[in-house]
Amino acid sequence: IPATDLLTPLKIRDVTLRNRIVMSPMCQYSSQDGLADDWHLVHLGSRAAGGVSLVFVEATAVTAEGRISPGDMGIWGDQHIEPLARIARFVASQGAVPAIQLAHAGRKASCQQPWLGGAPIKTAAEGGWPVIAPSAIPFHEGDPAPLALDRQGIDATIEAFAAATQRALTAGFQVIELHAAHGYLLHEFLSPLSNQRTDEYGGSLENRLRLTLQVAERMRKIIPQGLPLFVRISATDWVDGGWDIEQSVVLSRELKELGVDLIDVSSGALVPTAKIPVGRGYQVPFARQIKEQTGILTGAVGMITEPQYANEIITGGSADLVFIGRELLRDPYWALKAQHELGGEPAWPIPYGYAVKRRAK
Ligand code: FNR
């Protein structure tokens, strides 16, 4: 049997990925009223033509209040379906699998686009909106406190994820990822630093896991048996007394029980003060640990830029998929470059292939 490497297909449920290279979800902050437009089609479509196996639409807000910025992608209404379906169709036409990440920003909502400074938009007059969280603790000390969700608000949040899942399926996405990382709403419930509730959604680890598990369970029941569900987590807050890899292993095991197929293992972003040892593949050991200790498929992400290194992550058994973020912004054809560097002929788009193939002279 040939060894599994970066270019080996992977079948998850009924979905076959042509290789292990995934375009990581990346907010463009370029939507009007949450709608996908030509920018998103070209942005995502070019990576599909560029050989990636799984193309993720950015964090897509399940409610209008769940947006980080006024420019975030959304899926809170039926009007969002068709522009997303256009993207899903094009991605699939290029041999890639269309995927979408569903998100709620929690206490990190209602902020400016990062290139405008990213500061909280504090009032409705300035275009802001009410911000919700597990507890009334702001992300930055001194910022306005978010509203602590009541039980009704929690139930409505679960329903919003359910309705968004249904719309994502209608739009034609074949992989759905639940965003439970980076200090957004679900991560805020997981971490004791942001969750100081005294009801059944706070306190013990079991209670802090509850909302993420309930949302994932609800989504899994809506998603057809043949289609995968991924969950992105922050494996650690990088803060003593915060969320950590041991708790992430427990969460991953329970998500696996519910029928989640893959944990996409990121880290951090719950608090602005964390000291993070950023470097090549710095989150890969977490993907490896979760894979080894729970047996679930994992995705590795973060500072993976070289094809040879990405290949080693797969051949060494640290993860099953490699998510590429910024390097795919720098080079939409990174996957074709990886295919070339690993010794094969790139899977060129048909209109390019016959013309650019390197022929034996
Ligand atoms: C991101 N990231 C991100 N993560 C996520 O889960 N959902 C998202 O919508 C976004 N948005 C986003 C926008 C931009 C512009 C960047 C650069 C990053 C994080 C991203 O998916 C990835 O995890 C990190 O960028 C680390 O991987 P790289 O960039 O080092 O390959």
Tell me if 323 sits within 8 A of 310, measured CB to CB: no
- The predicted structure's pLDDT at residue 357: 78
Say if ligand 1 is within 6 A of residue 25 CB: yes
Residue type for 261, please? D
Q: Taking Cα atoms as reference points, which of 180, 75, 63 lies closest to residue 129?
A: 63
**CA neighbours closer than 13 Å in the CB half-sphere of residue 274:** 23
Q: Kindly list the distances between the CA atom of residue 42 and the CA atoms of 91, 96, 291, 328, in Å, as whole numbers in the listed order.
A: 10, 14, 34, 13
- The predicted structure's pLDDT at residue 358: 66
For a substitution probing ligand 1, which of 22, 23, 26 has the most ligand atoms within 8 Å of its CB? 26
Using the Cα atoms of residue 310, residue 314, residue 317 and residue 320 in order, give the sign of their dihedral.
Answer: positive
pTM reported for the whole predicted model: 0.98
Ligand 1 atom having least distance to the Cα of 324: 31
ipTM: 1.00
Task: Return the SS3 of 291.
Answer: helix
Q: Which of 29, 184, 201, 333 is catalytic?
A: 184
Each residue's pLDDT, cut to its tens digit, for the chain (361 residues) gives: 568 999 999 999 999 999 999 999 999 999 999 999 999 999 999 999 999 999 999 999 999 999 999 999 999 999 999 999 999 999 999 999 999 999 999 999 999 999 999 999 999 999 999 999 999 999 999 999 999 999 999 999 999 999 999 999 999 999 999 999 999 999 999 999 999 999 999 999 999 999 999 999 999 999 999 999 999 999 999 999 999 999 999 999 999 999 999 999 999 999 999 999 999 999 999 999 999 999 999 999 999 999 999 999 999 999 999 999 999 999 999 999 999 999 888 999 999 999 987 665 5
Ligand 1 atom having least distance to the Cα of 266: 23
Q: Taking Cα atoms as reference points, which of 232, 102, 131, 105 lies closest to residue 180?
A: 232
Active-site residue, 184 included: yes
Using the Cα atoms of residue 17, residue 22, residue 24 and residue 29 in order, give the sign of their dihedral.
Answer: negative
- The predicted structure's pLDDT at residue 360: 54
**Nearest-angstrom CA–CA distance, 352 and 332:** 15
